[in-house]
Structure 1
Amino acid sequence: MRTNLIPSTSLLTVAAFIALADIVCAQPIAQPIPRSTADDFASRLVSAAMGRLAHDVTYDGSYRSIGYPNGDVPARIGVCTDLVVRAYRAAGIDLQVLVHEDMTEAFAKYPALWGHSRPDPNIDHRRVPNLRVFFARHGDVLPRSRDPRDYRPGDLVTWMLPGNLPHIGIVVARHSTDGKRPLIVHNMGAGPSMEDMLFDFPITGHYRYDGHE
């Protein structure tokens, strides 16, 4: 009986190929880094908002020259928008930069309430009307309902206070004593506080923004 023999050189070639394949297959395959889910970001934002409650802040919205990026007024002062900006920054998003870049690109989309002819990174992100436009352009605009179940932790709510004063706060994962309404972390004049005030004033906006378009 005749047996077909494979030349030794061919055997060496096959062996080398198998060895190389083993090496290649043994290497870990790089996996794409998954984007943080909206719930993950909301959790970070809520934690950052809760952290603001530990800060003693005097209500002061006066114009200040600040750095850029990561510019901030002195830690001892601030208004409602500063609380939101600081919470977002702690969660990894610099609203000063994002608002400034968006206003530079689409200045006419923003309200002309202050007589400015160009963006100003010292103050633009510290104004509720500007934040409303930014969140509407780059986040989710949600119903301004009277149903507390529509408001999730990490959501942003804006109101009009008496005297036509715009206000903004962050919904957190705590509830009113009767369990019916989510609490709001905000600064309405007495420093950072957490209160049951979601429906105390006319709601002008309800947004969700996690940094992704």
Structure 2
Amino acid sequence: MARAWRWTAAGCARSSAEEAVPELIDVSPRLHAGLAVWPGDTRFGLERLLRLADGDPLELSALRSTVHAGAHADAPSHFRPGAPAIDRLPLAPYFGPCRLIDAAVGPRGRVRPADLAAEVDAPRVLIRTGTRPDPDRWSEDFAGLSVELVRHLGERGVVLAGIDTPSMDPFADPAIPAHHALAEHGIAILEGLDLAGVPAGRYTLAAFPLRLAGAEASPVRAVLIR
């Protein structure tokens, strides 16, 4: 168990042992102007409106960005007309027990059940393909999920699937069959996770989307807890 942190007038400091909390592992890429996004999409940008250094009484910023930047949750409205937007989805799938599983898959491939290095024994599954290790460099070589695997997850009661690539489908397949299969099985989608260096195994996941009215997706702060 790691100790908690608390804010003081001097900054951040460790709290007492009585306030011990579990270890928190951040699996969200840092949002910044250099973060790679889908070709043609809007990069993350932060506009400084007020600055203390300029004599303003406070710092104030505005942001402009695709809602698919970094770690993010897709809503069914992203690819299905009339389907629920992100603010209409239940929050329960985005918090609870999960398993991080490695997958033996090559560039532009699709993960099949036989490619998984562990059994699906948790209601949330994060799949590490290792096919897009650098969130700041765009590549079209990332892998996705097969419809067969999505069916496998659905049969085992999975409510959320996450992946370390920009999409559940490889770049070259505009039909996005894995997305549609996930929607048909009622499985929530997390994409763009930074799972590099995190030990495979069981965790508690917390990755809530913002309540963006009518949006087809939302950035999340994805955290693994153990």
Tell me if both proteins adopt one fold, taking TM over 0.5 as the criterion: no
TM-score by length of 1: 0.24
Structure whose CA Rg is larger: 1
Which protein is richer in helix relative to its size? Answer: 1
Which protein is richer in strand relative to its size? Answer: 2
- Structure with larger RCO (C-alpha < 8 A, sep 6+): 2
TM-score by length of 2: 0.24
